[in-house]
Amino acid sequence: MTGKSTLAALCLLAGTTHATDPAALQARNLAANCTPCHSADAPEPNAIPRIAGLPADRILQRLRAFRSGEAPATVMHQIVRGYGDEQLALIATLLASSP
């Protein structure tokens, strides 16, 4: 069941963008690294916070704080180090528009 709803959530995520738009495709591919952990299906309370639907500027601010080491983290500081500013902005915009 969980697998099915995860798939449904990913389809919903994909459905929020135009599949032919290269920036949207890139955003979807980049954010695919995030959704397995930040799944909307995860039960609350959960050590991994839900992020879909948060304002994009708040997501981006958190990601930059993780990358600079300013925000304490167990895993996020390592994960965001692999992304540039433009990539983080794309991911934040996509996740903000996700259900």
Contact residues: ligand HEC, CB under 6 A: 33-34, 37-38, 47-49, 51, 59, 62-63, 73-76, 79, 91
Q: Which residue is nearest to ligand HEC (CB)?
A: 34
**Pairwise CA distance, residues 20 & 91, whole Å:** 17
What tokens does 35 get? 């959704």
67 within 8 A of 81, measured Cβ to Cβ: yes
88 within 8 A of 80, measured Cβ to Cβ: yes
Residue 8: CB minimum distance to ligand HEC, A: 20
Question: Between 7 and 32, whose beta carbon lies closer to ligand HEC?
Answer: 32
Residue 75: CB minimum distance to ligand HEC, A: 4
The region, left, alpha or beta by phi > 0 then psi within -120 to 50, assigned to residue 69 is: left
Residue 47: CB minimum distance to ligand HEC, A: 6
